[in-house]
Chain A
């Protein structure tokens, strides 16, 4: 009796299984199966509501008529729906529509093919141009590389010549004595002074 029960109309099962289409109807009362009847309802005798027999007979007649008419109406509607569906699928209008659709489809496909052709031509031109440009670039690169190589070789030759020239002034075992005497005979003075104005003065006190 004092259990916590959801009183609102929103079913509890919704939170447990939201995907299920079926939702349990909620509890209507507060009492469980084992709770006893209330003291105020101890001597209550439930009687069915009074029914007027004449009215009931008339009502029953009316209901049978009503149900008959409803059944007939339902069949009519079903027939109409089926006829409509049949006509839609296999009617005269449907054939024309199908023809129009197929023609449209054909024209669209033709247009699509034309577009593809045009784009293919453009693409081929572009690809050609790109290939030519690539070839040009490779050729130029080859040229550059060759030039670089030649320049390199020339530089190396220059260096070799310079070395050869310098080799004439090298100090060898044979020149050693002569060179030493030469150096001792000509002392070189590398000292110099600098003025605040920036002028250099090479004259010094050395002999």
Chain B
């Protein structure tokens, strides 16, 4: 059987490199590795290079730990890699990329909903006071 090299395979399948999160860890304990892999490979399968990690569960100091290898991320972005949405969001929060629009919009939505619930609570209290 002819063993095609990875470059030829890529050309044949027409994929691209993606910087994405590969899930690992155990049951009820996820752990993501930020990884440069071909687009068509499986999520946890063979990757080209690991560029960092992301722990979604907060630790004892209530921090979520993220690590990046900025040098290699720059290299892969220069080679034409596409980051996925969560990776782009994380990098935006880190300051390496501009802040993702969805983070801003979701924060605004959250503030609005919190303001709304606060207003509703205040109205309920006023009603209760009015009743009393």
Contacts and interface: CB of A to CB of B under 8 A. Distances in A.
Query: Do A and B make up one complex?
Result: yes
A21 B97 contact: no
B29 interface: no
B128 interface: no
A66 B101 contact: yes
Contact of B105 (A9, A55, A78): A55
Interface stretch (A36-44, A67-75, A108-116): A67-75
A77 B77 CA distance: 6
Contacts, number: 56
B44 to A, nearest CB: 9
Grouping DSSP codes into helix (H, G, I), strand (E, B) and loop, the A interface class, with mixed when no group exceeds half, is helix
B41 interface: yes
B101 A21 contact: no
Interface residues of A, number: 23
Interface stretch (B1-9, B49-57, B59-67, B119-127): B1-9
Interface of A: 9, 11, 19, 21-23, 55, 58-59, 62-63, 65-66, 69-70, 73-74, 77-82
20 contacts: A9-B43, A21-B6, A21-B9, A21-B15, A21-B40, A59-B101, A62-B101, A62-B104, A66-B98, A66-B100, A69-B98, A73-B97, A77-B75, A78-B77, A78-B78, A78-B80, A80-B78, A81-B75, A81-B79, A82-B78
